[in-house]
Structure 1
Amino acid sequence: MSADKMTVGFKNIYYALMQDDVRGGATTYGTPKRFAGAMQATLNQNPSSQTVYVDDVPVATVTSVGVLEMELGVDNITKEAAAELFAYRIDDNGVLLEATRGKSPYIALGFESESIDGGKLMNWIYKGKLTVPSQEFQTKGESVEIKSQSVTAQFVNRLSDGERKVSVHSNDEGINAEVILDWFEKVYVPVLTGGTTPTV
């Protein structure tokens, strides 16, 4: 990444519930929804490598990419999103019941980051699960320290096509402007020579 495309911001976190993911078939998602206000995020690809030795001499190196881990700091997760993502419930009085009932769903997670050149780096990570968020509480002292919510997630490759993450920079050459405009309207569908991957 060139210096003028270095990121200087983080915003617009969306999630979409994964509806189906069939090996060699299709992956489908629901309509993306706003998740929470973005504060910070860290992505770790967890790469690993191993060197092969023959006759006491290194002759080859094998590399692999592990599970994609994400640490996400947000301002406040709505109770509606919490109910969907963590298998919570909301009672008749609008109170969030934080006992997990059932399995949390796989989701796609999209977000945006501004860059030095005024462009936007857009991302979708295709298949992962979020952990129940951690929270910190602290009494007010002479100075007020604002506490955020922290969520971790693990993402794996889709069964349908093996894809895991896609990204695009709005100022790159040859980018269809509609791709950027519609980025959060639905989970992005990769378009490859000879046709479109079986994903909607």
Structure 2
Amino acid sequence: MATIGLDRLYYAKITEGENGDETYETPSPLAKAISAELSVELAEATLYADDGAAEVIKEFQSGTLSLGIDDIGVAAASDLTGATIDDNHVLISTSEDGGDPVAIGFRAKKANGKYRYFWLYRVKFGIPATNLATKGDSITFSTPTIEGTVLRRNKLDGQGRHPWKAEVSEGDDGVNQEIITGWYSEVYEPVFAAGTEG
């Protein structure tokens, strides 16, 4: 079903254990969302046998998330880009900056009034782009855009795989309402019955 809206943009800081597995802090609001564009790159290989394609493998390699937001606060900018906040609460960006990956959550409103919810498990952001213009005869809003690379996470799910995205639609068969109401209280962890295979 088509989506007609976007809101509730959150991020969660990541801490990596000694083995590289991620744990997520409690999600925090990032900004008011204007747009989100997600593009995905696949690693692809084709095995040819008997004069034809015998096997085709397509796997997630990485993605790009471009967020249009109303404004990025000083604390969120520091968390996402690695910029520092000085003693006067001024955000200082340096050439050595490089933010740590974070998880990104948001929801998109569907035409039926229900929502589709998302968590991207590991996104590494660059410096926000800023567009400024002088005021002319009409009012033009200038808003920042921040772009990040979406990566799979290190931590395995219950099927021994590396997830990169969680997505659920409100009201779908089998979706427990508690999943929806708790979506922003913590980063969603995949749940699989013991012994199931994908």
Cα offset for 1:62? 3.5
Moved more, 90-99 or 116-125: 90-99
Residues 60 and 136 of structure 1, relative CA distance in 2, 3 Å threshold: same
Map of 1:62-141 to 2, 5 A cutoff? 62-99=57-94, 103-141=98-136
Aligned equivalent of 1:12, options 3, 8, 14:
8
CA distance in 1: counterparts of 2:24 and 2:111, whole angstroms: 32
Which letter maps to 1:175?
V
Task: Determine if contact 1:87/1:100 at 8 Å carries over to the other structure.
Answer: no
TM-score under structure 1 length normalisation: 0.85
Cα offset for 1:93? 2.0
| 1:94-121 CA-partner distances (Å, limit 9, x unpaired) | 2221225554111100001111111111
CA distance in 1: counterparts of 2:18 and 2:88, whole angstroms: 39
Instruction: Tell me how many residue pairs correspond in the alignment.
Output: 190
Which letter maps to 1:178?
E
Which letter maps to 1:139?
T
CA distance in 2: counterparts of 1:61 and 1:179, whole angstroms: 35
Task: Determine if contact 2:83/2:99 at 8 Å carries over to the other structure.
Answer: no
Task: Determine if contact 1:86/1:100 at 8 Å carries over to the other structure.
Answer: no
CA distance in 2: counterparts of 1:91 and 1:64, whole angstroms: 43
TM-score under structure 2 length normalisation: 0.86
The runs of 4+ residues in structure 1 deviating greater than 3 Å are: 48-62, 100-103
Aligned equivalent of 2:143, options 116, 132, 148:
148
Residues 19 and 148 of structure 1, relative CA distance in 2, 3 Å threshold: same
CA distance in 2: counterparts of 1:96 and 1:141, whole angstroms: 29
Superposed CA RMSD: 2.1
| 1:2-35 CA-partner distances (Å, limit 9, x unpaired) | xxx3211001110001112565x84311111111
Relative contact order, CA 8 A, sep 6+: which one is greater?
1
The equivalent residue for 2:23 is 28
Residues 186 and 144 of structure 1, relative CA distance in 2, 3 Å threshold: same
Which 5+ residue runs of structure 1 have no aligned equivalent?
196-200
Residues 57 and 189 of structure 1, relative CA distance in 2, 3 Å threshold: closer
CA distance in 1: counterparts of 2:47 and 2:121, whole angstroms: 33
Task: Determine if contact 1:7/1:115 at 8 Å carries over to the other structure.
Answer: yes
